[in-house]
Structure 1
Amino acid sequence: MTARIDHLVTVGTFSLDGGTWDLDNNVWIIGDDTECVVIDAAHDADAILAAVGDRRLLAVLCTHAHNDHIGAAAGVRAATDAPVWLHPDDTMLWQMVYPTDAPDAAANRPSAPLADGQRIAVAGIELEVLHTPGHSPGSVCLYAPALGTVFTGDTLFHGGPGATGRSFSDFPTIIDSITNKLLTLPADTVVRTGHGQNTSIGDEAPQRAEWIARGH
């Protein structure tokens, strides 16, 4: 069967540095009628499980560990036994959501690390892990050349880089990540983001100098 991309939007909050904000998150499901992976289990485990349906869930892949992107990961894993994969540089953010002193801490640790260059097979295609720190130290993007798309989490949006004004983030680092890991992809690559609308590498690349001038 041919791999496809399913999309749903879940609603919740993002909390960091003492503040909380309402927001919508994109959840991406890549697979066929038999198996799939979830990119970012955001807010609503029941909605994600309904979208997965009776397919075998191979993994939950976390683009980073801000609470709005991982809040439903434990619920999805409990229902499916699917492993949860996270870049280890975001462990401290994960532990803000799933504390090490909680009774269920052992069950709620990430199952396996994501690493730059790693390839994850699903439904006859591969997702390549691109480590893109900046929004957070362990941020990753997932590139699917067979589908002509890259899933960028909060690293790159329509109109520019992800936010870098909070703890564990850094603007020069995210610019380096986007420049060296994303803007080198084919111009027609569709960028599917963690929030908001899609864009493309070709649409975003010409704006790099403007981002740098803005400094955020």
Structure 2
Amino acid sequence: MTSGTFSLDGQTFDVDNNVWIVGDDEQVVVIDAPHDVEAIAAAVGDRRLLAVVCTHAHDDHVRQAPALAARFSTDAHPVPVLLHPADREVWELTHEGVPTTDLANGEVVTVAGTDLHVLHTPGHTPGAVSLYAPELATVFTGDTLFAGGPGATGRSFSSFATIVDSIRDVLFELPPETRVHTGHGDDTTIGDESPHLQEWVDRGH
């Protein structure tokens, strides 16, 4: 976890962000690269970084993505920053003109024998994705699904109706025992959250 700020629509908030590192003793991917590049790099250590995968392009999830990728890139093994193209406009708010590599729905990112299946789960942002690892019975949801409800949808580029569709039609189709690793806060499971969907809809969470 790293701490910093999130800024959008002229407002700035203090936030703590989860950073997820998936792999083994030889190679890893980093899921989201927020505030502290030194801390993330230290956690990666001397392992080969295959990619920085962005669950979405809000600044508190991608602020250090280009710097982290550059830190571990070599001429032989450049490290891509993977982002769904629907979030390019949001990315440009923080990293204008900085290139990314497109991440597509249904794509599989493989690291150390573990497959991360890319699920396009828009709503929090247009290009938000979740990463499902069947072998780990785990899904990394970024800011789409938290313990207790959907991610925020009250700011630019977001849609409550869309995030509800993503959660209902994509995430809640996963096995109920699937552990949910979120972008902020505590873990949960699909089974713990799925009974509450109608409550969230009714209150427009």
Whether the TM-score (by the shorter chain) exceeds 0.5 is yes
Query: Which position in structure 1 is the counterpart of 2:107?
Result: 118
Aligned mate of 1:48, from 36, 40, 43 = 40
Residues 13-70 of structure 1: CA deviation (Å, up to 9, x unaligned) = 0000000000000000000000000000011111000000000000000000000000
Partner of 1:3: none
Aligned-pair CA distance for 1:125: 1.3
RMSD: 0.6
Matched residue SS, 2:60: helix
Aligned with residue 150 of structure 1, among 133, 139, 149: 139
Q: Distance in 2 between matches of 1:187 and 1:98?
A: 37
Whether 1:89 and 2:86 are equivalent positions in the alignment is yes
The whole-number CA distance in structure 2 between the counterparts of 1:98 and 1:152 is 22
Is 1:74 equivalent to 2:66 in the alignment? yes
Q: Corresponding residue for 2:76?
A: none
Task: Give me the identity figure in percent.
Answer: 62
Moved over 2 A (4+): none
Cα deviation code 1:91-144 (max 9, x no counterpart): 0111000123xxxxxxx311x111111001111110000000000000000000
What secondary structure is seen at the aligned counterpart in 2 of 1:115? coil
AA aligned to 2:175 is: P
For 2:168, the equivalent position in structure 1 comes to 179
- Matched position secondary structure for 2:19: strand
Q: Quote the offset at 1:75 in angstroms.
A: 1.3
Which AA in structure 1 matches 2:55?
T
The one-letter code matched in structure 2 to 1:209 is Q
Tell me, in whole angstroms, the C-alpha distance in 2 between the residues paired with 1:43 and 1:157. Answer: 20
Unmatched segments (≥5 aa) in structure 1: 1-8, 101-107
Aligned residues: 200
SS of the residue 1:54 aligns to: coil
TM-score, normalising length: structure 2: 0.96
Corresponding residue of 1:161: 150
Q: Secondary structure at the match of 1:97?
A: coil
Residue number in structure 1 paired with 2:202: 213
The one of 127, 138, 147 equivalent to 1:138 is 127
TM-score by length of 1: 0.92
Q: Which residue of the partner structure matches residue 4 of structure 1?
A: none
Structure 2: runs of 5 or more not aligned: 74-78
Q: Aligned equivalents of 1:60 and 1:214: distance in 2?
A: 35
SS of corresponding position for 1:49? helix
